[in-house]
Structure 1
Amino acid sequence: MADPNYLSDADRDRISAAVGEAELLSAGEIVTILAERSDGYTDVALAWSAAVALLALALLAIAPDFYLGIYDRILAGWGHEWTPRAILTLAAGVAAVKFGAMMLLQLWQPLRFWLIPPPIKTMRVHDRALRAFRIGAERRTSGRTGILIYLSMRERRAEIVADEAISSKVDPQVWGDAMNAMLVELGQSRIADGMIAAIRKVGAVLQVHVPRAADDVNELPDRLIEV
């Protein structure tokens, strides 16, 4: 669930009102989603922890006398006899400690998300937006005119996904203006204003390509969905 501190109730009302106003101009149905994050990235955290553990083992292999000497002085005392079994046990212990410590460090969310490579963030946000679109908007309108504006806060990324009747008429690059308008406001930490700017840009595009019919009805909720 998105952090309730991102938006006030007044902000949520403003976003819903902007959706309603934009939909008056066209047959499009705009769905807005604000997500706290688009993935847990457990696989990335495990990969970093495994890399740290392997690095520790590599250092132990490169300079074994140094590390075994430290162990002798701290725990075993002088004259400790290192058998192959003892060395393997130490190596396994070092790897386990490093792995666990790195996993614990990544429980701190700012570090966890800082360590995620940007392309992975972009891919996960895109995939999550597509899944959300398929559940909440795709083919849920009579004219297949649903469109999703998706904003993922932790990754600081957004997506616009359109249904068949819109995507067949509008080049994906057209949504660049809407994205840029959103990002300008988000850069100033004005989340609601960013969503509203994107809604208005999307509404203007929809008015041109899927004009409103006389018998058009509102088929999808106007309220912001927070996940």
Structure 2
Amino acid sequence: MRDMRKKFEFSAADKKLVKEAVQELEQKTAGEMVVYFARDSDSYLMACWKLAGIFGVLFLALIATLSYLWLLPASIGILFTCLIGIGTTTLGFAIPYFIHTLRVSFTPDSVVSHRVLTKARDIFLQEEIFNTSDRIGILIYISELEHQVQVLGDSGINAKIQQEDWNEVLGLVIQGIKANHPAKGIASAIKKCEELLLANDFVNVVKPDNELSDDMRIEE
């Protein structure tokens, strides 16, 4: 899912709002929830090399064209041409290196989506969301740079809840971000998860004390 971009910072009140939503879900249902906000899901440095190559090729094409048309000044020698070429290529690398959003723009959407999903799955394992009774953990993963959100449910939940239902959860997160209230959007998404769990008979039963921390994870 796409369409979000700002350098979001979460206040103490925002974190409290999300934590309370997680706690309410876990009090009313048998599920466990983790919210993870990542600044990015990959470095996308290949985009830097890609743009460097484009700049280099364009420079060579320009030199070749000027030379063919006898428009290349005689004062421009091979050494000077090489230095300018190296500088142009370096500039092509440097621009996306320092402008992170440009790296994403020069990376195919399919690659970006795959990187986000891969990191979301890594976080699922890192946070041990799989290690809950009855395999009913949920991860809401938000990646700021790529403007994407992933919701991953463990096997116990995915046996009953369909992708269309998770899409509604994604939509609530994105709505909150578009409105510049990401914490409220996340809290609404958690509430929707709670409704989905209850509707599919994942009611609160006797379970171990809080298996996963309720605090929102935020990358700096």
TM-score range, shorter chain: 0.7 to 0.9
Aligned counterpart in structure 2 of residue 174 of structure 1, from 165, 171, 180: 165
- Compared with structure 1, are the counterparts of its residues 64 and 101 closer, same or farther at alpha carbon in structure 2 (3 Å cutoff)? same
Partner Cα separation in structure 1 for residue 85 and residue 188 of structure 2: 50
Partner Cα separation in structure 2 for residue 199 and residue 137 of structure 1: 19
Structure of greater Rg: 1
TM-score, structure 2 as length reference: 0.85
Partner Cα separation in structure 2 for residue 154 and residue 35 of structure 1: 8
Which string of whole-angstrom CA distances, capped at 9 and with x for unpartnered residues, describes residues 133-166 of structure 1?
A: 1211342112111110011112111000111111
Contact 1:34/1:225 (<8 A) preserved: yes
Contact 1:53/1:99 (<8 A) preserved: yes
Is residue 7 of structure 2 the alignment partner of residue 9 of structure 1?
Answer: no
**What code does the residue aligned with 1:23 have?**
E
Partner Cα separation in structure 2 for residue 149 and residue 4 of structure 1: 19
Which string of whole-angstrom CA distances, capped at 9 and with x for unpartnered residues, describes residues 81-121 of structure 1?
A: xxxxx3xx555434322221112222133444444443332
- SS of match in other structure, 2:213: coil
Which string of whole-angstrom CA distances, capped at 9 and with x for unpartnered residues, describes residues 14-55 of structure 1?
A: 111110001112111110001111111111221121122122
Contact 1:35/1:152 (<8 A) preserved: yes
Is residue 166 of structure 2 the alignment partner of residue 163 of structure 1?
Answer: no
Contact 1:31/1:149 (<8 A) preserved: yes
Q: Which has the larger displacement, 130-139 or 27-36?
A: 130-139
- Compared with structure 1, are the counterparts of its residues 216 and 27 closer, same or farther at alpha carbon in structure 2 (3 Å cutoff)? farther
Partner Cα separation in structure 2 for residue 67 and residue 98 of structure 1: 22
Is residue 111 of structure 2 the alignment partner of residue 120 of structure 1?
Answer: yes
Identity %, equivalent residues = 25
Matches within 5 A, 1:1-227: 6-65=9-68, 69-70=72-73, 72-73=74-75, 86=78, 89=79, 92-106=82-96, 107-209=98-200, 210-227=202-219
- Compared with structure 1, are the counterparts of its residues 4 and 92 closer, same or farther at alpha carbon in structure 2 (3 Å cutoff)? closer
- Give the CA RMSD over aligned residues: 2.3
Partner Cα separation in structure 2 for residue 116 and residue 189 of structure 1: 26
Partner Cα separation in structure 2 for residue 91 and residue 127 of structure 1: 43
TM-score, structure 1 as length reference: 0.83
